[in-house]
Amino acid sequence: MAQALSQFAREQQPQTETAQPRIAVMVPCFNEEAAVATVVADFRNALPSAEIYVYDNNSSDRTKAIAVETGAQLRSERRQGKGHVVRRMFADIDADIYVLVDGDATYDAASAPRMIERLVADRLDMVVGLRIDQAEAAYRRGHRTGNWMLTRFLSAVFGQEFKDILSGYRVFSRRFVKTFPVLSDGFEIETELSVHALELALPVAEIETPYYARPQGSFSKLNTWRDGFRILSTIIKLYRSEKPLRFFTAIGCCLALVSVGLAIPVIVTYLEQGLVPRLPTAVLSMGLMILAVLSVVSGLVLDTVTRGRREMKLLAYLSQPAMNNH
């Protein structure tokens, strides 16, 4: 890692200067008094030159006091939800390389140098920590199944496969962080990060990292069903906004099929008897076909809007200097 960081430093500064890249470790916390000290200590050992920021999200325990005792920079976000915290982090913190990790001591700090080295060496914009659980209690069965289903759904929708879209352990380039429009409020932020990278075809990678059980006294705030449905809803909303032509064409095709299914008996009766005895059915069929056409037309219009919005995002991304040109 030292060699990769030295190369990065030479590229970032004029030839007359030698400076290491600024690394920021961002730790969102909500009632993590049992784990936050371990997280800060582990990352300080793994990344001695990094600045560690703990963002408290309305904790009611001693999270803030313990974070201060560890020497980390403590900041707060009053709006509840991990998405709000990440939005504040990305806006406030200025660095060259960003490490995002949950404050529950389940992620392996020793993997951070390897993830950063991969980011720098391959000039990537995001490296995701692919969780390899080290204990049965680390990864509950419901969470494992939900993650697999959502990951497969995201791959089918956006055409590129992530193996762990819900990992809370990620390393970013400055380019990614400063051009990412955070829209999510809660735990669906990881899904939004993945979709943003897929949408703009950004260079990303996954690296296997150990995943541990929470320390004693620490409890997960993730609700399997509630947050699973929120994440699924986020994927569908993002699919609608990023792939509107496919989304509304699929709806239009479904409406058209129902319309044709209702119309066939009416047409057969008319051909046989010359009458339309089921007028309400005929009207319903016609209305559904009109809605089907309108859905496809809406998809075409929104697809043009989406292309323009994607171009603006890409231009904003390209306006930020690359790693070798900072």
- At 12, list the tokens: 């970032």
> Which range is least confidently modeled, 4-18, 28-42, 117-131, 270-284?
4-18
- Reply yes or no on whether the pLDDT at 84 is more than 80: yes
Q: What's the whole-number mean pLDDT along residues 114-119?
A: 96
Between residues 187 and 302, the one the model is more confident about: 302
- Domain 2-242: which CATH class? alpha beta
Q: How many helices (H) and strands (E) does the chain have?
A: 11, 7
Going by pLDDT thresholds of 50, 70 and 90, the confidence category of residue 63 is very high
What distance in Å separates the CA atoms of residue 1 and residue 162, rounded to the nearest whole number?
A: 25
CA–CA dist 220, 227 (Å, integer): 12
Q: Going by C-beta distance under 8 Å and a sequence separation of 6 or more, which residues neighbour residue 325? A: 11
Cβ-based neighbour number of residue 158 at 10 Å? 19
The pTM for the full model equals 0.79
3-class SS at 83? helix
Provide the 3-class DSSP secondary structure of residue 26: strand
Are the beta carbons of 322 and 11 closer than 8 angstroms? no
Look at residue 299 and tell me whether its pLDDT is greater than 90: yes
CA–CA gap between residue 242 and residue 196 (Å, rounded): 10
Q: Are 83 and 184 in contact (CB under 8 A)?
A: yes
- For residues 144-161, give the mean pLDDT: 74
pLDDT at 7 exceeding the cut of 70: no
Any residues with CB less than 8 A from the CB of 260 and at least 6 apart, and which? Answer: 285, 289
Residue 236 has what pLDDT? 82
